[in-house]
A = this chain, B = another copy of it.
């Protein structure tokens, strides 16, 4: 049995799936405006089941890490395939970045032939013939006249086969304890590059199972994990568990999702957290299996000063 800070780690695994991903960098005259644009562009993008894409902010970029030397934010976008990704990207950049004061938008992944999607090259038509392009170091940038100057958007954006649906479950003695642990996990994962947490605030409380007693619904509440249904269904919850939160992780590659899982689980192992579990479909659906015990085996146990 594996325990960390008296929290039990279940011997189970998260099942994750491939999704196509892009990294977009938005810059602006201030970090606040770059964040405003990125938040709008990554809104309403919790799950590709109900939204056109999954999206989230990856991290803040200081001026010396952005293409134009201004403060920036990188955000990731995931969709089922490249066509869906291109459509969501063009519309989200067009609605949320092009419209937003002082912003520019750059590609944040290597461009590989036949794997890139066109964003600036589509949005340029908004310029009504007054757009111009500039090439620098083999990359093309479109400059579209707008009311506060010009909107610069890179022509092509690289894509990769990413890994979506990484996850773990936090089983807590109370809602307060489980939520505090979920927040700690989210905060710890914010330091990991290459991943996002697509759900609101990085936390999910509506875990679902496949299928439903209503034919038109393909998914419904995961009753085995609902504390209020403990007497009515075959519950998966120990007696002292009264609330569960899930952390869902999308990443640019498997290793990033693994690192995020490790950081998140370690932070979630706190007083009031009974157990850490993970969600899977028996292992038959998703090609990626993230085994909690393997991931957490080597957590650092060097003695530390008291906290």
Question: A residues engaging B (CB < 8 A)?
Answer: 27, 29-31, 33, 36-37, 39-47, 50-51, 62-64, 67-71, 91-92, 94-96, 98-102, 104, 106, 125-130, 134, 136, 139, 141, 143-152, 154, 174-180, 182-184, 187-188, 191, 199-201, 203-208, 212-214, 216-217, 219-223, 225-229, 232-233, 243-246, 267, 270-272, 303-307
Contacts and interface: CB of A to CB of B under 8 A. Distances in A.
B152 A205 contact: no
A157 B220 CA distance: 23
Contact of A306 (B31, B150, B219, B220): B150
Given A43-B43, A147-B226, A174 B175 contact: no
Contacts of A44: 40-45, 92, 95-96
A213 to B, nearest CB: 5
Given A44-B41, A92-B44, A177-B176, A68 B147 contact: no
Contacts of A213: 128-129
B191 A64 contact: yes
Given A149-B227, A175-B149, A91 B50 contact: yes
Given A30-B187, A101-B182, A304-B67, A39 B46 contact: no
Contact of A128 (B40, B143, B180, B220): B220
- Chain copies in the assembled complex: 4
A interface: dominant SS: mixed
A129 B42 CA distance: 33
A52 to B, nearest CB: 9
Given A95-B44, A102-B175, A229 B145 contact: yes
Contacts of A127: 220-221
Given A96-B200, A141-B306, A306-B68, A101 B179 contact: yes
B143 A243 contact: no
Given A44-B95, A96-B200, A217-B125, A187 B306 contact: no
A184 B305 contact: no
A305 B201 contact: no
A306 B150 CA distance: 9
Contacts of A92: 44
Given A100-B199, A146-B207, A147-B245, 10 more contacts: A29-B184, A31-B187, A41-B44, A125-B214, A128-B223, A147-B243, A148-B179, A149-B243, A174-B271, A175-B271
